[in-house]
């Protein structure tokens, strides 16, 4: 008989803390929370999403940028000025951490939207322009990557264990009402600053552990709607899919989640008949597929 317990590890660590009253609290708590799962990461990526940290700029889009060189920064600023007034920009405050080696340029911009709808644009929104900006920077400006682009929030990520990344970004000096943290254990993609979690677009911030094996087809599907995956991690695709399904296609979060991770057929068969419209939809879908199978077998 075995006299010890051998723990079976799964890669990546995830923590989320939210104040239901909307009270803001220091990032110290989320750093302590994620630090107890250090063994679930391997130092190749850590990051945090924080909501409510920029109350004085809550009406502006805050872009957190990762720059590999000064030319990337210059080109990005020239592009941003076409559509936005830069109300304020500054380096993201950091402190030296022994385990954080060779950090890239880290800058934040507080942007006011100024671009007007162009002739021929039927349905144009400020959010659409922000998405377009993120895709343009990530795809066409070499050495520049947008980490976050929402309002009154920011994503802080990089190469290292998450608690070390938090200290590097001085997160104990920020206060927010929602904090999300991730420690990465990459399995099928490289570890680098842009590939750390969370992934963000507008106000979305997504983390996950495990592997999403449908990354390739998701990437190709998203390209039809001008979302371009350039950060080499499957969670980026999921972030864009939520924006497409919920913001653009107006699906509920429940329906979007079911579209991305549909229940198995035997689970659908056990759904009660008198539940939500979503349940009825899955039942109808199952029945239709059963009819198709019967027809095929009948041939």
φ/ψ bin of 145: left (φ > 0), alpha (ψ from -120 to 50), beta (otherwise) = beta
Residue 251: strand, helix, or coil? coil
- Residue pair 158/112 in contact (Cβ under 8 Å)? The answer is no
For residues 20 and 178, give the distance between their C-alpha atoms in angstroms, rounded to a whole number: 9
CA 225 to chain CA centroid, nearest Å: 18
Produce one character per residue of 148-168: b if its CB has 16 or more CB atoms within 10 Å, e if not: bbbbbbbbbbbbbbbbbbbbb
C-alpha closest to that of 153 among 241, 243, 55: 55
For residues 162 and 181, give the distance between their C-alpha atoms in angstroms, rounded to a whole number: 7
For residues 45 and 235, give the distance between their C-alpha atoms in angstroms, rounded to a whole number: 13
Residue 215: strand, helix, or coil? helix
φ/ψ bin of 209: left (φ > 0), alpha (ψ from -120 to 50), beta (otherwise) = beta
Query: Catalytic: 12?
Result: yes
CA distances from 51 to 90, 116, 177, 234 (A): 19, 28, 6, 23
For residues 241 and 218, give the distance between their C-alpha atoms in angstroms, rounded to a whole number: 8
Query: Length of the chain, please?
Result: 299
Q: Burial-class residue 216 by CB neighbours within 10 Å (0-12, 13-18, 19+).
A: exposed
Q: Which of 1, 7, 9, 12 is catalytic?
A: 12
Active site (catalytic) residues:
12
């Amino acid at each position: 008989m075995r006299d010890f317990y051998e723990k079976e590890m799964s890669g990546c660590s995830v923590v989320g803390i939210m104040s239901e009253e909307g009270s803001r609290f220091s990032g110290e708590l989320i750093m302590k929370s994620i630090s107890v799962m250090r063994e679930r990461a391997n130092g190749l990526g850590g990051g945090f999403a924080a909501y409510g940290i920029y109350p004085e700029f809550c009406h502006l889009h805050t872009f957190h940028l990762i720059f590999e060189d000064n030319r990337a920064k210059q080109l990005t600023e020239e592009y941003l000025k076409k559509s936005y007034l830069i109300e304020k920009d500054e380096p993201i405050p950091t402190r030296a951490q022994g385990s954080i080696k060779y950090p890239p340029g880290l800058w934040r911009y507080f942007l006011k939207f100024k671009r007007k709808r162009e002739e021929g644009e039927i349905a144009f929104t400020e959010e659409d322009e922000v998405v377009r900006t993120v895709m343009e920077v990530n795809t066409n400006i070499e050495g520049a990557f947008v980490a976050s682009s929402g309002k009154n929030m920011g994503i802080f990520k990089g190469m290292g264990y998450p608690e070390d990344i938090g200290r590097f970004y001085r997160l104990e000096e920020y206060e927010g009402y929602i904090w999300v943290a991730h420690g990465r254990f990459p399995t099928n993609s490289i570890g680098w600053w842009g590939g750390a979690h969370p992934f963000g677009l507008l106000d979305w911030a997504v983390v996950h552990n495990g592997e999403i094996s449908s990354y390739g087809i998701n990437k190709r599907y998203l390209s039809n709607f001008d979302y371009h995956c350039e950060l080499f991690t499957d969670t980026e695709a999921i972030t864009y899919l939520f924006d497409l399904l919920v913001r653009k296609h107006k699906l509920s979060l429940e329906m979007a989640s079911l579209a991305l991770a549909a229940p198995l057929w035997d689970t659908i068969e056990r759904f009660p008949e008198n539940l939500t419209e979503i349940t009825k939809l899955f039942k109808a879908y199952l029945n239709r597929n059963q009819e198709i199978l019967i027809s095929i077998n009948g041939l």
